[in-house]
Every structure is written in C-alpha cells, then in structure tokens.
Chain A
Amino acid sequence: MSITKVCGIETEYGIVMRGVEDQNPIAASSILISAYLDEVAAGGANSGDGPLLGWDFEDEQPDRDARGFTPHGSQAPDIEMHLVNAVLTNGARYYVDHAHPELATPECSNARSVVVFDRAAERILQLSMDAANRILPPGQEIVIYKNNSDGKGNSYGCHENYMMDRETPFGRIVSDVTPHFITRQIFCGAGKVGCEAGLSSDEVPFQISQRADFFEEEVGLETTLKRPIINTRDEPHADPQKYRRLHVIIGDANMSEIATFLKVGSTAIVLAMIEDDFLPRKFTFAKPIRALRSVSYDLTLRQPLALSDGTTTTALAVQWELFERAAAFANKSGLACVGEEVGRDILAKWEEVLTGLESDPMALADQIDWVAKYRLIEGYRDRHGLDWSNARLNALDLQYHDLRADRSLSRRVGLQTICNESEIESAMSDPPLDTRAYFRGMCLKKFGDEIVSANWDSLVFDTGEKRLRRVPMLEPLRGTAAHVGSVLESSSSAAELLESLGA
C-alpha cells in the first residue's frame, strides 16, 4: 500500500552583491540570513516569532547510498557546519549552502501545502533582502534570484523530497520514475535562453529547462558534479527501517505556483504508483541523458525519443500515459496518499495542462513558467528585432527570477495563483498542522529559550536539569496538531511538556 507522500522543497537561491569590487557570495549569504534572523529576533519582520537556533548535525549522513554501496570515485557532499544555519518557527531550515542562501520548507503532507510554504520562502527571502540592504553601506545591495543557472555553466539546485516506503525496491524506483523525470519538464521547466552544454544560440536559442544541461549520469550520489537523474542519497531523516526519502535533484525552481503544484503533485502520485507497482509499461530510454536534453531543446514537444526496444516515444506521450495510469490508480485505490481533494486537483490540472501543451502551448503562458518566459522574450525580441544571442534577452531571462517586487518579471506576466495572501503570510511563521513540523515549529515558538538545537528528526531541550533531553521525531506524520496540539497548549514549560509526552 502506498504511504502518505510527505514532501518538501529545498531551494538554493542565486545571490548578487552590487556595489562591491569582489563579490563574496558566502559572506553575502551570511549577511542576508543573519539580517533576517536579527530582525525576527527583534520582533520586526515577523512579530510573534520565537527565537531561532542552530542546526543539529547529529543525524546527517549525506554520503549514505540508497543502493547499499558507494561506488569507487564517487564524491559525497560535504557538510558545512560553520556557516549560518537556523530553524524557523514555521518548521523550515534557512542556511548558507555552497555559496548560496538555501531554504528548505517544512515537511508538508501534500503538494498544495508545499506551494504555500514555497511562496512563504520567497517572502522570507524578500524580507531578508530588505533587512540586509538596510544595514549595508550606501551603494551596496544584495539581490536574490530564484533560478538555477547563471548562464555561464554554473548551476544550483531546487530539490524535492518525498517520503517512500522502505519496502519498495530502489531499483524499481529508478526504472519507473526516470521516464517521469525526463519528461515532466514540459510543464515544470522554468525556461532558459541559450545552452550551457556546448551548443550555440543558433542550435538552441531557448530551451524548456534550466537544469537539463547539467545532468550527465543516470544514477548516482553526486549533487554538484556529474549530476544524476536519480540521486541515491539515502538519508531518510525518519525511521530508516520503515521509510526512505527520495531526494530529487533534477527540478527547476518555479515562479508559477501551478508549475510547483504540478511538479510536486504529479511526482507524488507517480511515486505512490511505484510503491503499489502500478506502472506496467516501462519506458526505458536508449540514452536517458540525450533524451532529457532533447526534451528540453524541443519547444514543439514532438521530438521522437529513442527507447531501448527500438521504438520511439515523445515527452507528451509519456506524460499522457502516466496521467492515464494515475487516473486509473485514483479510481482503484483512491488518492489518500497525496490527500484526496488535492489529488483530484492534481489530476484535473495535469490533464488540463497536457491538453493545452498538445493543442496550443502558448495559451498556457499564465500557468507554465517556460511558456510565460518564452512568450515574453520572443515578444520583446520581435518588437526590437533582436538576435537570440543579444544580451538583453539573457537579461530578461535572469530578471524573470528576480525576487524584488519592483523588478520581477515573473510577477508581471499574469501568472495564475492558487494560494491566498493570508495563508502565505501565516506560513512565514506558522508550521503546517499535519506533519511533525508542527511540533518543531510550535516548540520553538513556545519554548524556544529551552531548546538547544533542532534538526529534521529530533529536538534537544535544556530544561535546567543535569542532562539535555533529546526528543526523537522519527515519524513524520506524528507530532501534528491533532496529536500534540492540546498538550502543547496546556504545558507551561518544556519540562511539563516532556513530562506529558512521556519523553
């Protein structure tokens, strides 16, 4: 039986420091995040927030491989422990990673919740920019971009995470989800001017995905070099006997709420079907990396992709088949694993978008990032008679992702939204109610002074006794408002809370 797809998104943002000779992105990221934390602590940006604190690295194991072995020469990511690293009261983690500010949303129980917390993350970055720019010397400014490439061969990630049943064989996940990852970019690609994999602007003037150029392997542990379509990091941040966390590194950061919703929603359903072994037809690509890039380079969506059995398919055909299976899966098993109501919305949107991509992709310019960006840039190019190699088009591309409200192009192209303002506002400081992030966030709000450190699967309290007390949270669906809301409410100290919980 497929399990609830607890999920979340971690985004590394592009960062520019203006008005200085030599940019130091690590220092700039630290200034950015510290300025936000200071402001929150002072009751400014998000009044009502409790204190924030350091991350606990006790359980981090980024070098553990889901295949059960680590291939020779494979490079495991390093953990950077000395940089700014905080837990927010909404249950998120906000830190400096690889010379970028990164924000990981709290664990969410469904795709819609992920969209709300992803938008809240953007707001937090915006407030961070404002806070940092208030303390920087005149003439200096930090600007944040929610994209995945600098157009010069350097990429940074927007990763997704999905909780899966440990009993599902990893090999089946690899074979069954790869076709989805190669083809889902037709609705969740963020679009990019030009190519960073050696082709000219005549050959690839514009492509669907930000990230496709940077993938070189089918399966592997790396995340910064020779990036694989399937990442094998086996770090469940939960009971390792029962769960795995599929760490997805192939997505683009989306500005469109609908694109984020469909990216996470469709993937959650595909993974649930894999758990139930409900995907009978295997699309085994003859050359997966070539297929990935072919899909990204083909705006007609009609490019034949070679399968290993000698036949061909297209990105649209693969997506239609996955959608049809998902619809059958919903009829047979229901969609409790992704939230029944949200699941129905995912299916309806998935069908609508595939139908649109098939008949008139450009009519999806208010829903799909690559289409919105392409229309804007093509319109500008046409109006001014520019070649695709003109830098003004690259500038438009970057500015689509600019998080400054007065500069952002993505906020001017009329993208539809699915979240309302008040829920985004709340999600900047309040955790989701229906995962363990509730316990983490509410404890921080209420007993922040008595918490020494936190991470995804534990909290460490100092209640004034001789020893510190670690509360493990190995079940991502426990510690919800339904489970601990009343105990949290009635406890007046951390010691009392731990007593009531029997910790």
Chain B
Amino acid sequence: MTEREQIRKTPTEAPAIEVDETPGVSDQAEKLKAELDDLLDEIDEVLETNAEEFVRSFVQKGGQ
C-alpha cells in the first residue's frame, strides 16, 4: 500500500514512460524479454506466408 501511495503521489512529475525501452527493472521483465526473444526466433513458422495478401483480403462486414 505504502509503496503504491508513494508512486501515486508523483505521477504528473514523472517523466513520460518510454514504452519501448529495454526492460531490465525486474526479474519479471527479464523473463518476459527472454520469452519474447524465443518467440520472435520461431514466429515466422506460424505467420501467414503472404502478409500483404492476407491483410488485404481480411474484410469484414460491420456488426454491432
């Protein structure tokens, strides 16, 4: 609780977060980074082969 309170008091003074910065602030971030690298290594095997055609032909009727 106190930790969060502390964080909360200064949101407007905090510098804008660089969302694409290399995480390294916690074990959790390190773990996620390693998993992402593994996924990116093998992702081409599951990706649609012709991305341009796939995206172009993905047309839906509007719904609710």
Question: Is there a chain B Cβ closer than 8 Å to A38's Cβ?
Answer: no
Cβ distance B41 to chain A, nearest Cβ, rounded Å: 9
> Chain B residues near A359 (CB, 8 Å)?
7, 25
Question: Of A223, A383, A392, which contacts B40 at CB under 8 A?
Answer: A383
Interface core residue of A159, A360, A413 (most chain B CB under 10 Å): A360
Question: Is there a chain B Cβ closer than 8 Å to A154's Cβ?
Answer: yes
Question: Of B8, B12, B19, B28, which contacts A320 at CB under 8 A?
Answer: B8
Question: Of B14, B62, B64, which contacts A249 at CB under 8 A?
Answer: B64
Q: A363 contacts B23, CB within 8 Å?
A: yes
Bound: A100/B64 CA distance, A: 10
Cβ distance A20 to chain B, nearest Cβ, rounded Å: 11
Cβ distance A413 to chain B, nearest Cβ, rounded Å: 7
Q: B48 contacts A395, CB within 8 Å?
A: yes
Q: Report B38-64 CB contacts with A as 1/0, cut-off 8 Å.
A: 011001001110011011111111111
Q: A379 contacts B63, CB within 8 Å?
A: no
Q: B48 contacts A314, CB within 8 Å?
A: no
Q: B11 contacts A302, CB within 8 Å?
A: yes
Give the size range of B's interface with the partner.
35 or more
The chain A residue with its CB closest to the CB of B57 is: A16
Question: Is there a chain B Cβ closer than 8 Å to A358's Cβ?
Answer: yes
> Chain A residues near B36 (CB, 8 Å)?
365, 375-376, 379, 413
Q: Report A344-375 CB contacts with B as 1/0, cut-off 8 Å.
A: 00000001000100111111011000000011
Q: A366 contacts B32, CB within 8 Å?
A: yes
> Chain A residues near B12 (CB, 8 Å)?
302, 314
Bound: A414/B48 CA distance, A: 20
The chain A residue with its CB closest to the CB of B63 is: A156
Q: A361 contacts B19, CB within 8 Å?
A: yes
Q: B63 contacts A12, CB within 8 Å?
A: yes
The chain A residue with its CB closest to the CB of B19 is: A299
The chain B residue with its CB closest to the CB of A394 is: B55
Bound: A399/B17 CA distance, A: 28
Q: Report A128-150 CB contacts with B as 1/0, cut-off 8 Å.
A: 00000000000000000000011
Q: A156 contacts B64, CB within 8 Å?
A: yes
> Chain B residues near A25 (CB, 8 Å)?
60-61
Question: Of A150, A223, A314, which contacts B58 at CB under 8 A?
Answer: A150
Question: Of B7, B11, B51, B52, which contacts A317 at CB under 8 A?
Answer: B11
Question: Is there a chain B Cβ closer than 8 Å to A152's Cβ?
Answer: yes
Number of A-B contacts (CB under 8 A): 141
Q: A14 contacts B55, CB within 8 Å?
A: no
Question: Of A224, A299, A355, which contacts B64 at CB under 8 A?
Answer: A224
Bound: A183/B64 CA distance, A: 21
Question: Is there a chain B Cβ closer than 8 Å to A103's Cβ?
Answer: no
> Chain A residues near B21 (CB, 8 Å)?
362
Bound: A100/B14 CA distance, A: 45
Q: A151 contacts B26, CB within 8 Å?
A: no
> Chain A residues near B47 (CB, 8 Å)?
392, 395-396, 399
The chain A residue with its CB closest to the CB of B28 is: A363
Known: A362-B29, A374-B19, A383-B40. Is A100-B60 also a contact (CB below 8 A)? Answer: yes
Q: B40 contacts A380, CB within 8 Å?
A: yes
Cβ distance A290 to chain B, nearest Cβ, rounded Å: 20
Question: Of B8, B46, B63, which contacts A98 at CB under 8 A?
Answer: B63
Known: A98-B64, A249-B64, A358-B11. Is A398-B55 also a contact (CB below 8 A)? Answer: yes
Known: A391-B55, A399-B48, A412-B39. Is A314-B62 also a contact (CB below 8 A)? Answer: no
Bound: A224/B54 CA distance, A: 25
Bound: A456/B16 CA distance, A: 48
Q: B11 contacts A409, CB within 8 Å?
A: no
Known: A317-B11, A363-B28. Is A223-B59 also a contact (CB below 8 A)? Answer: no
Known: A300-B19, A374-B19, A414-B35. Is A355-B61 also a contact (CB below 8 A)? Answer: no
Q: B4 contacts A351, CB within 8 Å?
A: yes
Q: A395 contacts B17, CB within 8 Å?
A: no
Question: Is there a chain B Cβ closer than 8 Å to A157's Cβ?
Answer: yes
Cβ distance B4 to chain A, nearest Cβ, rounded Å: 5
Question: Of A77, A99, A406, which contacts B61 at CB under 8 A?
Answer: A99
Q: Report A441-475 CB contacts with B as 1/0, cut-off 8 Å.
A: 00000000000000000000000000000000000
Interface core residue of B35, B57, B61 (most chain A CB under 10 Å): B61
Question: Of A375, A391, A412, which contacts B51 at CB under 8 A?
Answer: A391
Question: Is there a chain B Cβ closer than 8 Å to A273's Cβ?
Answer: no
Cβ distance B55 to chain A, nearest Cβ, rounded Å: 4
Question: Is there a chain B Cβ closer than 8 Å to A271's Cβ?
Answer: no
Question: Of A12, A301, A409, A414, which contacts B17 at CB under 8 A?
Answer: A301
The 22 sampled A-B contact pairs (Cβ below 8 Å) are A12-B64, A15-B60, A98-B62, A98-B63, A100-B60, A149-B60, A151-B55, A154-B62, A156-B63, A159-B64, A223-B64, A224-B64, A320-B8, A360-B23, A365-B32, A365-B36, A376-B40, A383-B40, A391-B55, A392-B51, A394-B55, A409-B46
Name 9 extra pairs, CB < 8 A, besides A314-B12, A376-B36, A399-B46: A98-B61, A155-B62, A249-B64, A300-B17, A302-B11, A302-B14, A302-B16, A362-B21, A365-B32
Closest 6 CB pairs of A and B: A156-B63, A99-B61, A157-B64, A395-B51, A98-B63, A150-B60
